[in-house]
A and B are shown apart, each in its own frame.
Chain A
Amino acid sequence: DTAVSQTPKYLVTQMGNDKSIKCEQNLGHDTMYWYKQDSKKFLKIMFSYNNKELIINETVPNRFSPKSPDKAHLNLHINSLELGDSAVYFCASSQNLGLAGFHEQFFGPGTRLTVL
């Protein structure tokens, strides 16, 4: 009965590799997000999709590419991994209430990425 799930939970890889992180939510939400939490604990939005449409695209390297095959899934692919990509990546979802804004965001457990 997990609400927002991410795989893998831990990812250790070498510089230069390409890796993907998957996220799925079973809450019926129409908006999903990717956040990065660095070593200083700042949590920063990277991307957001609403009904499979990209609505937030922050200033992140184009090595990062999100893909949303459907409303319940938002994956993150990272090319040519660098040491600075080491962080915890959180997926989240919420319900778009239209003019009323967005409801609470529910976060996945995080993926701890370590680039060696």
Chain B
Amino acid sequence: RKEVEQDPGPFNVPEGATVAFNCTYSNSASQSFFWYRQDCRKEPKLLMSVYSSGNEDGRFTAQLNRASQYISLLIRDSKLSDSATYLCVVNGGYSGNTGKLIFGQGTTLQVKP
């Protein structure tokens, strides 16, 4: 089983749609959770951290369910510029904090006009 699992998609949605991505992780000791965004042939960039209470940043909402080891990202009112690959990222959860991040394969979103 992969440590972080995502549906690779692609998700093809029209502009203005609401789209949700899900992710599961296997290490229950993981402490930190993130969504990164990676544009085609570019480096990953932090989109948002994910907190147990859930958090929102404009059109983006992230939620964490520790009991189910499940993370989600909701994008409302999709824009063409949201087209990218969204990476679910979990810290390693290993003893001795090393900053080790485990990346999911990514979910590709294509927003169409």
Contacts and interface: CB of A to CB of B under 8 A. Distances in A.
A102 B91 CA distance: 9
Interface in B56-113: 85, 87, 91, 97-103, 105-106
Interface residues of A, number: 24
Interface string B17-38: 0000000000000011010000
Nearest to B2: A42
A41 B43 CA distance: 12
A66 interface: no
Interface of A: 31, 33, 40-45, 48, 50, 55-56, 90, 94, 96, 99, 101-102, 104-105, 107-110
29 contacts: A33-B99, A41-B8, A41-B85, A41-B105, A42-B105, A43-B87, A43-B103, A44-B103, A45-B101, A48-B99, A50-B99, A56-B99, A56-B100, A90-B44, A94-B99, A96-B99, A99-B97, A101-B31, A101-B99, A102-B32, A102-B91, A102-B97, A102-B99, A104-B49, A105-B46, A107-B43, A107-B44, A109-B42, A110-B42
Interface of B: 8, 31-32, 34, 42-46, 49, 85, 87, 91, 97-103, 105-106
Given A48-B98, A102-B91, A104-B49, 12 more contacts: A40-B105, A41-B106, A45-B102, A50-B99, A55-B99, A56-B100, A90-B44, A101-B31, A101-B32, A101-B99, A107-B43, A110-B42
